[in-house]
Structure 1
Amino acid sequence: MKKLVLTLAMIAGLTSCNNDDDSIIDPPVADTKEYTLSEKNDSGVSGTVIFTKNDDGSTTVAFELEGTEDGNMHPAHIHFGNAADGGEIAIPLEAVDGETGTSTTEITELEDGTEITYEELIDFDGYINVHLSADELETIVAQTDIGENALTGESESYDLAEADIAGVSGTATFEERENGETLVTIMLEGTEEGNTHPAHIHAGSVEDAPGAIIITFNPVNGSTGISVTNIAVTDDSEEEEGEAITYEDLIDFDGYINVHESEDNLETLAAQGNIGANATED
C-alpha cells in the first residue's frame, strides 16, 4: 500500500511539473521578413513592408508608410528583377490608403497564376514600387528591392575627385546584395541639368590610365548627379562574353572609375577615382 501511495505521489509530481513547463513555453513566432521602403522623387513617403507566413502557406504582405496623405490611394506592385534595371509586374498588391499609410494583401500566386510560397517570396528576384496614383503610375513615391536583391548592409564608398570639369566631384558607393551582385550608386555635385555623363569602371589605376573598360554604368543624370546600376557581369568584349563578378570581386578589383563629360566627348573627364585594391585607406 505504501508503494502504491508513493508511486501515485510521484506521478502527480511529474504531472505538476509538466503542467508548469507547458505554462512557460512561449507560443511559436510567425515567420516574417521586413524590408525598408525608401523615398523616391522627393515624395516624402517611406516606411516598411512586412512579409508574414500564414498557416496555410500563403503570405501576408503589409505596408506601413509615413508621409502619405488623406484622400490618396497609392497602387503597389511586386516586380520581376531589381529596381535599378526595372522589370514587369509580377504581383499586384492592394493599394496603400493615404489616410493610414497601410494596406494588406494575401498572396498565393503570381499574376500569371503560378503558385508561390512564403519561402519562394523571400528569396524572390524582385522589387516593390509604390506609385503616386492609378493615373500617375510613372511617378514612384517609395521603392525597395526584396528577396535575393535585398541589400546585406555591407558597402564600400570611393571618392570621385574633380577632373577636367571644375566643381564636379562626389562618391561611388558599392552595396552587396543577398545574391552576391552589387548595387552601385554614383552621386556627384556640380553637374548641370540637361547633361548626361557616361561612366565606366576601367582596369588598372588612375595613375596608370588609360585602362580597358570593364563595366559600363548607367549614365549620370546631370539634373540629379545620380547614377544607379546593378552589376552582375562584366561588359562583353569582341572576343568573349562578360563574366560573372560579385561584390567581393569588385571591392578587391584592380580598377578605377571615369565619369565623362558626354557621349560625344569621352576625352574630357568630369570626375575620376580609384576603387577596390587601388583605393587609398583613410
Structure 2
Amino acid sequence: MEYPIAATTMIVSSCSEDDSTDQPPGVFDGDSKTYQLQSRADASVSGTATVVENEDGTATVNLKLTGTSAGSFPAHIHANSAAETGDILIDLNEVDGASGESTTIISATKAGTAITYEQILELDAYINIHQSANDLGTLIAQGDIGVNEITADSREYELKSAADANISGTATIHKRVSGASLLEISLEGTPADGEHPAHIHMNSAAESGDIAISLSPVVGANGKSFTHIEEDDAGTALNYEALLELDGYINVHQSANELDVLVAQGDIGINVLTGDSKEFALHSVLVPTINGTATVHKRLSGASLLEISLEGTPADGEHPAHIHANTAAEGGDIVISLNTVNGANGKSWTHIEADDDGTSVSYEQLLEFDGYINVHKSIAELNVLVAQGDIGQNELTGNEVSYDLAAVSNAAIFGTATFSERVNKETLVTLELVGTTAGGIHPAHIHTGAVADAPGAVIVTLGNVIGDNGISVTNVTQANSGGALDYDALLAIDGYINVHLSAEDLDTLVARGNVGANLN
C-alpha cells in the first residue's frame, strides 16, 4: 500500500506568448504546473514534478528530486489517487540519482491514447518514483497530480484516546481539485507492528451508529492512514463539502480481530464541538466522596454533548443519570435520559438534540432549561442518589446570604438558613441544623415580622427539615398568597423563620431566626 501525505501545490509562474513581454519573438512560452513529491522510504528524498506545455500541445514532465545519490529511479504516472493506487498510465524516464532529474516528453499514454498538456492537468492520477527496477515495491517519492491535487482547504478533527491513553491524534480532511477528499489520520503512540482498522460511522460517538465509510487501516509503524473519499460505502456521492456536513464520527480499532476495542475516537462534520460550553456542579448526596461536574458542549449542528465527570465512583459501578424538570429542591419528571455513568472512569457522554418526547432542544435551550440532573446508585436502586445538581436557569449565581437559626426548646439544635440566588432570580432556601434526631420531620416556615414581634402570619412554607441530616431545601418563587417573590425581594422581606418540632406539635420550636430586612 502506498501512503500519500497532504501536498501543498505551488503554481509556477506562467504566461502565454500573447501577453509575454520578456520572451524574444518566436520563442514559445507555454504554461506550466508544479506538483509536490513527498518523501516515502527515505525521509531525505523529496521534490517536484513540473508539467510544461509544449508548442504542439503535448507536455514535458520534469522531475526534480533532492537527496538522491548515484543510481537510476524508475518513475510512472498511475491512475487514481495515491491513497487508492492504480495501474501505470504513463511511463516516465528514470530519475538520474546524481542530478536528481528526469525529463519526459509526453504525447500519448502507455496504451497509445493521445494526451495533451491540458488533459494531463485533468488526469485522475499520481506519480510514483521507485527505489530501483529490481525494487519497485519501495517508493522514494510520491505525489498526487491533476484533479487529485490537494487544495488549501482542509478541516482537522481531534481523535481522543480510548482503550490506550497513550494513543491519540487527528483526522484531517483535505479537499482535492476534483471536489473529492483525502482523509488523513495521524496518531501518536501506536505500536510498530499494529494495523488498526478505521471507519466513519453515522451519528455522534455518544450515540454510536453503523459504518458509513470504510477507511484505510492505520499503520502502527507511523500512525498514518490515507483514504480517498468521493462516495460512502453504499455508493452515494460525497464531496468535500458534504463530508464536512456529515453527521458522523471516526472509530480506530485495536485490530481486525478486536473491533470492539477502540484505540481512538472522535466526532467529525456537524458533530464537532465548537468550543462553547457550560459547566454545572454535581454535588454529593449519598456518598460524600462522589461529586463532579456536568458540562454541556455545543456542536456545530447546534445540538449538545453533555459530559458527566464524577470523582469517587466505584470501579464496578454503573450509575443511571437523567435530566429532570424543575429544580432539585422541587423534584420533577424525567425529561431527558442520559447515558449511564461508568464507575471505572466516572464518565458519561450523551448527545442531546431532543428531549425524551422528541421535542427539539438546542444548545441554547439547554442552557436555559428549567431542570436538574440526578445520578443514581444503580438501575436497581434509582431511589438512591450519588450526585445531583441544578442546571440551566436553575444554576446558582454564587450570590447568597446566610442567617443564624438559634436554639429554642433544645439547646443542642441550631444552625443556619441560606438564601442562594439562581440565574432566573428565583431563590434556593437551605436550612442546615445540627443536633436533629434521625427519623424526625420538622416543618419550617417564613413568618411575617421579626422574632421579637412573634407570632406572625406564615408568608412562605418551606420544605421540612429531615432529622437524619438536618437539611431542608426549598425553591422559592412566590409567597403562599401567590405574590411573586424573587431573590432581591426575599432579601428585603420583613420576616423570620420558625422550625417546629413536628406537624403534630407546631407550638414547640426547635430553631428560629430573623431573615431579610430583620437581619441584626
* 1:236-256 CA-partner distances (Å, limit 9, x unpaired): 3xxxxx111011111111100
Pair 1:265-2:505 in alignment: yes
The 1:43–1:166 alpha-carbon spacing in structure 2 relative to 1, beyond 3 Å, is closer
Matched to 2:371, the amino acid is G
The 2-side partners of 1:172 and 1:202 are apart by 14
Pair 1:224-2:469 in alignment: yes
* 1:176-208 CA-partner distances (Å, limit 9, x unpaired): 011111101101111112221111100000011
Pair 1:249-2:489 in alignment: yes
Pair 1:155-2:416 in alignment: no
Partner of 1:38: 283
The 2-side partners of 1:80 and 1:245 are apart by 21
Structure ranking higher in strand proportion:
2
Please give the residue correspondences for 1:194-233 in structure 2 after superposition, counting only pairs within 5 Å.
194-233=439-478
The secondary structure found in structure 2 opposite 1:207 is: helix
The secondary structure found in structure 2 opposite 1:172 is: strand
The 1-side partners of 2:517 and 2:410 are apart by 26
Equivalent pairs counted in the alignment come to 248
Partner of 2:165: none
Partner of 1:166: 411
Shift of 1:164: 2.0
Match of 1:71 among 313, 316, 320: 316
The 1-side partners of 2:440 and 2:320 are apart by 32
Pair 1:135-2:375 in alignment: no
Partner of 2:434: 189
* Contact preservation (8 Å) 2:274, 2:298: no
Identity %: 50
Pair 1:109-2:354 in alignment: yes
Is the radius of gyration larger for structure 1 or structure 2?
2
Shift of 1:77: 0.6
Pair 1:83-2:344 in alignment: no
The secondary structure found in structure 2 opposite 1:119 is: helix
Partner of 1:48: 293
* 1:55-94 CA-partner distances (Å, limit 9, x unpaired): 0111000111100111211111111111011111111111
Matched to 1:126, the amino acid is G
The 2-side partners of 1:40 and 1:136 are apart by 14
Please give the residue correspondences for 1:116-127 in structure 2 after superposition, counting only pairs within 5 Å.
116-127=361-372
| TM-score normalised per structure 2 | 0.47
The secondary structure found in structure 2 opposite 1:191 is: coil
The secondary structure found in structure 1 opposite 2:365 is: helix
The 1-side partners of 2:274 and 2:306 are apart by 17
The 2-side partners of 1:189 and 1:54 are apart by 46
The 2-side partners of 1:186 and 1:245 are apart by 18
The secondary structure found in structure 2 opposite 1:266 is: coil
The 2-side partners of 1:42 and 1:63 are apart by 17
The secondary structure found in structure 2 opposite 1:84 is: coil
Shift of 1:165: 2.3
Shift of 1:43: 5.0
The secondary structure found in structure 2 opposite 1:161 is: strand
The 2-side partners of 1:123 and 1:117 are apart by 10
* 1:141-200 CA-partner distances (Å, limit 9, x unpaired): 001100010000000000000112231110001100111111011011111122211111
The secondary structure found in structure 2 opposite 1:87 is: coil
Q: Which moved more, 1:269-278 or 1:163-172?
A: 163-172
* 1:10-60 CA-partner distances (Å, limit 9, x unpaired): xxxxxxxxxxxxxxxxxx962110011100022521111110110011100
Structure ranking higher in helix proportion:
1
Partner of 1:5: none
Partner of 2:8: none
Partner of 1:279: 519
The secondary structure found in structure 2 opposite 1:82 is: coil
Matched to 2:487, the amino acid is Y
The 2-side partners of 1:29 and 1:115 are apart by 19
The secondary structure found in structure 2 opposite 1:249 is: helix
Structure 1 runs (4+) deviating above 2 angstroms are: none
Matched to 1:176, the amino acid is E
Shift of 1:120: 0.2
Q: Which runs of 5+ in 2 are unaligned?
A: 1-272
Which gives a bigger RCO, structure 1 or 2 (Cα 8 Å, sep 6+)?
A: 1
The 1-side partners of 2:464 and 2:294 are apart by 30
The secondary structure found in structure 2 opposite 1:74 is: strand
The 2-side partners of 1:86 and 1:48 are apart by 20
